[in-house]
């Protein structure tokens, strides 16, 4: 909770430090990848290249790490790599995106389109099929699509 609080308050370095301590003591804590990834991607003092390298350095198999890493890759114009990182995390059905899934799917479609891949329109349908009880909010999906289209 402390690391998450630090990240939400803008103390991104403090949050990363706390994650490192927690990782040594409790390596299986479920939220470590999310807090770490948020603390890296949200840090305005890091360049996009630094963010990408820090996020790539972690080996957690976690949807939130994949999401933030793909955002950094996209920020560097590396859309094919970003798609390859993000789309599997959506379709595997194990990621803990919860109510954020519609927003993440809309972003994945945009990144996929920028990568000029041919299956972008199928991401939503496949994501819904991959989740037995999808946390889906069509309005959030449409709002994010509209924001990304601007």
Q: Which helix (H) or strand (E) holds 73?
A: helix 63-75
Cα distance between residue 7 and residue 2, in whole Å:
9
> CA nearest 22: which of 5, 41, 44, 8?
5
- 């950094």: which residue's tokens? 72
State the first-to-last Cα distance of the chain, in angstroms, to the nearest integer: 36
Cα distance between residue 20 and residue 106, in whole Å:
32
- Token reading at 15: 């949050």
The pLDDT tens digits of the residues spanning 113-149 come to 999 999 999 999 999 888 766 568 899 999 999 999 9
44 pLDDT exceeds 70?
yes
pTM above 0.85, yes or no: yes
């Amino acid at each position: 909770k402390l690391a998450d609080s630090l990240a939400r308050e803008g103390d991104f370095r403090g949050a990363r430090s706390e994650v490192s301590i927690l990782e040594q003591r409790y390596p299986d804590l479920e939220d470590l990848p999310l807090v770490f990834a948020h603390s890296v991607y949200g840090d305005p003092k890091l360049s996009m290249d630094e963010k990408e390298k820090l996020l790539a350095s972690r080996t957690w198999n976690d949807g939130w790490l994949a999401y933030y890493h793909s955002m950094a890759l996209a920020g560097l114009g590396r859309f094919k790599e970003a798609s390859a990182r993000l789309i599997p995390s959506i379709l595997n059905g194990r990621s803990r995106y919860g109510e954020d899934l519609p927003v993440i799917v809309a972003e994945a479609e945009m990144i996929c389109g920028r990568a000029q891949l041919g299956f972008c329109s199928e991401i939503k349908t496949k994501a819904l099929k991959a989740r037995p009880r999808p946390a889906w909010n069509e309005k959030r999906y449409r709002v994010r699509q509209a924001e990304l289209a601007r």
